[in-house]
Amino acid sequence: MEQNVNYLLIGGGLASANAAAAIRERDNDGSILIIGMEPYFPYDRPPYSKNFLTDNEMSPDATFSKPEEFYGEHRIQLHTGVKATKIDRENRIVTLDSGDTIRYEKLLLATGARPNALGVPGEDLIGVFLLREAEDGIHIRQALRNSRKAVMIGAGFIGMEVAADCVVEGIDTTVLTHGDTIWSQLRPSPAIQEFLRSTYESKGVKFLFNEDVAAFEGEGSLRAVRTKSGKSVEADFCVVAVGVSLNSELAKEAGLEVNEKGAIRVSSTLQTSDPNIWAAGDVACFKDVALDKEWHVEHYMNAMWQGETVGANMAGEERPYDRVAYFFSDEFDLHMIMRGDPDRAKSAKVIGEMQSGNFVELYADDTDSLRMGVAFNHDEEKLEPISDTLESLIRERRKVAQIDPSEFKL
């Protein structure tokens, strides 16, 4: 069966949901179809390493990016539980794994990423989890209710957030990581590293740095994690959080331009090398107007904002994507935001008292201009104005030496 649509959005996540909304705001008549591999409406992923795990009453529909009725009210079709397998760019036809085809006028690739496995013995044991999809979160939450010991593999956002959830539930928790840093993707200063480590250790979390997993051990179910150095850590369950691989195979096979990391190259307006195809979210390597660099960003705010921008552009605008990168995380009663570019910045100034958990650390580039800011606070509401201030100062290229602490209300 073949279907004809004006706008075809591949990827059932936040970027597609926001793109569809932005399209409909500007085009009241064009047909819109979202196709996604999961059986759910597009949903937000952050809760699945945060409050979803500790709230047994929270259901997946509480994480939906838009209410269920939104799609019917705005005449947006969804095909869930299906996968796009081929793009015929010349004829503008996408083939699905069901054998059906969809002829499009404009196409969005918002295919996201998938979690990396370790490729070691025992990965198929009950109790060894990856965390990306809603079903993963459901299974991990169940494990939390029935476990005494847990191991997180990886000290990035997901590993650290789930570790905090485990401790809140009274579980003996160990974080095991290949390197010697926490949140290595953000390149935080040694001072923040120590702050995070001491915070977690004060709650009972144990760390094993510079360790690699040799195998998961157990008979049917996980019993322990064995490292290459010979250590054995008891565990009733384990979450492997060692990064992701981009779902860009569809784009590559269609001949679209990708970078060395597999991200789909797009312009500042998120258009690919094919004028009828756009890309957004994790999978898009974009020309960042605000930070003057080309990169791809794997985070919620990027997917949300790029979805809004790409939908507007697919509907006829020519709007450059112009947002200062925004990351966030929550640990225990601490809340963190980061604005800016972690690749081109070094710690230059701390405002507030780091030990108290209410502070801002400013990072400068080689000219002493503000390139990145990291803020922690126990009061989440205070972070929004701090975020706005950081964005303004980064855009202004303000010299860090000229930034007055009174500009931040801690």
Model pLDDT, residue 282: 97
- b/e map 228-262, b = 16+ CB within 10 Å: eeeeebebbbbbbbbebebbbebbeebebebeeeb
117-242 in CATH: which number?
3.50.50.60
Q: What is the pLDDT along the chain (410 residues), one digit of tens a residue?
A: 789 999 999 999 999 999 999 999 999 999 999 999 999 999 999 999 999 999 989 999 999 999 999 999 999 999 999 999 999 999 999 999 999 999 999 999 999 999 999 999 999 999 999 999 999 999 999 999 999 999 999 999 999 999 999 999 999 999 999 999 999 988 899 999 999 999 999 999 999 999 999 999 999 999 999 999 999 999 999 999 999 999 999 999 999 999 999 999 999 999 999 999 999 999 999 999 999 999 999 999 999 999 999 999 999 999 999 999 999 999 999 999 999 999 889 999 999 999 999 999 999 999 999 999 999 999 999 999 999 999 999 999 999 999 999 999 88
Model pLDDT, residue 186: 86
Q: How would you class 29 by CB atoms within 10 Å of its CB: exposed for 0-12, middle for 13-18, buried for 19 or more? A: exposed
Q: Which amino acid is at 206?
A: K
Model pLDDT, residue 1: 78
CATH topology of domain 2-114+245-314: FAD/NAD(P)-binding domain (3.50.50)
Model pLDDT, residue 11: 97
Domain with CATH 3.30.390.30 in the chain: 333-407
* H helix or E strand, kind and range, residue 328: strand 326-331
CA separation for the pair 178, 326 (Å, rounded): 26
Orientation of helix 14-26 relative to helix 300-314, angle to 10°: 30
Evaluate the CA torsion angle 172, 177, 182, 183 in order and state its sign: negative
| SS3 assignment, position 400 | helix
Model pLDDT, residue 410: 87
Model pLDDT, residue 409: 87
Q: How would you class 409 by CB atoms within 10 Å of its CB: exposed for 0-12, middle for 13-18, buried for 19 or more? A: exposed
Domain with CATH 3.50.50.60 in the chain: 2-114+245-314, 117-242
Model pLDDT, residue 185: 86
CATH topology of domain 333-407: Enolase-like; domain 1 (3.30.390)
